[in-house]
Amino acid sequence: MAYKSILTVVMGGTVEGSALEAAVAMAEAQDAHLEVLAMGVDTSAPGYYYAGANAMVEQQAIERARTEAQKSEGAVREALKGAPVRWSVVSGVAQIGTIQQLVGGHSRFADLVVLSRPYGEGKTAADEATLEAALFAGHVPVLVVPEGKTVTAPQKIVVAWNMSSEAMAAIRAALPLLKDAQSTNIVIVDPPRHSADRSDPGGELSQMLARHGAKPEVSVIAQTLPKTSAVIARHCEDQQADLLVMGAYGHSRFREALLGGATRDTLESCEIPVLMHH
């Protein structure tokens, strides 16, 4: 299976800081159709009517978002002139509370969503909401790409394995890339002593991937740093990996927002593309 429908989202009236370039590269490598959602976001009001709201102010906010969406669509069309892929672009407007419906509705028909990293300079709550909408409403794997990075045919892939359903979903979604990579390193951080595969950590997963044509190897490493995400990031650096595959939000999004977690920590700090699924 290959990715034949790839979606990316552009906001802010410009393609700067978006993952458009990375999405084009992936679509070309996979011979896929690229769909772009040019989204304008109204951040001034919640996604429902509230007593005492000024209808004129609300209308002005929606018009600003619509103008932003149109500017984004124009920027996308200009950027994709002569692009070596089949592509289409649609525009849409959402409030923060309705991004899930808009992005989720588009992403559920994609094989892969390519997005820029949702944290860092210039990023807003809309970027995080877009990622979560694709994962939770679209039920689709998401390739998160740091600014200035692309990934088409990664040759050294690290798979973060903790036996969770989220990790397995990400691995299955990454099979089109894993089977063509030069190496797939399955990293297990401090496996529990009483796990089902304690005598052969990662053995069954390695066998499964080998049957798909991947070239897996297993690394069992100790948690030598306070955060698991930091341990995995250092391992990716040691492996000179160009892609990390991991499950997303094994804990609730609310818990991770308050206390942190592997998903959020990785997205905030990882310097290579991350393919994740929930």
Kindly tell me if the per-residue pLDDT of 196 is higher than 70. no
Q: What does the pLDDT read at residue 258?
A: 41
Q: What does the pLDDT read at residue 19?
A: 97
Place of tokens 């595969």: 197
Q: Using CA atoms, how far apart are residues 216 and 179, in angstroms rounded to an integer? A: 10
Q: What does the pLDDT read at residue 200?
A: 82
Domains, the chain, ordered by start: 5-145 (3.40.50.12370), 156-277 (3.40.50.620)
Q: How many CA atoms, within 13 angstroms, populate the side-chain half-sphere of residue 33?
A: 6
3-state secondary structure of 109: coil
- String of DSSP letters for 212-234: TT--EEEEEE---SSSHHHHHHH
Residue 24: pLDDT band by 50, 70, 90 thresholds? very high
Give me the mean pLDDT over the 68-87 stretch: 97
218-272 pLDDT tens trace: 999 999 999 999 999 999 999 999 999 999 986 555 544 544 478 889 998 889 9
CA 219 to chain centre: 24
Q: Using CA atoms, how far apart are residues 243 and 151, in angstroms rounded to an integer? A: 8
Q: Using CA atoms, how far apart are residues 198 and 253, in angstroms rounded to an integer? A: 29
- The share of the chain scoring above pLDDT 70, in percent, equals 89
Q: What does the pLDDT read at residue 270?
A: 86
Q: What does the pLDDT read at residue 80?
A: 98
Kindly tell me if the per-residue pLDDT of 214 is higher than 90. yes
Mean pLDDT, rounded, of the chain: 90
Measure the CA angle with vertex 54, ends 50 and 57; round to 5°: 115
Read off the tokens for 56: 């004129």
Q: What does the pLDDT read at residue 121?
A: 87
Kindly tell me if the per-residue pLDDT of 212 is higher than 80. yes
What burial class does residue 58 get, using C-beta atoms within 10 Å of its C-beta: 0-12 exposed, 13-18 middle, 19+ buried?
A: middle
Residue 177: pLDDT band by 50, 70, 90 thresholds? very high
Residue 77: pLDDT band by 50, 70, 90 thresholds? very high
1-25 core/surface letters (b: 16 or more CB in 10 A; e: else): eebebbbbbbbbbebebbbbbbbbb
Q: What does the pLDDT read at residue 255?
A: 46
3-state secondary structure of 42: strand
Q: What does the pLDDT read at residue 116?
A: 96
Q: What does the pLDDT read at residue 46?
A: 53
Give me the mean pLDDT over the 57-71 stretch: 86
What is the model's pTM?
A: 0.91
Place of tokens 């210039």: 122
26-61 pLDDT tens trace: 999 999 999 999 999 998 755 444 555 555 566 788
CB 36 within 8 A of CB 20: yes
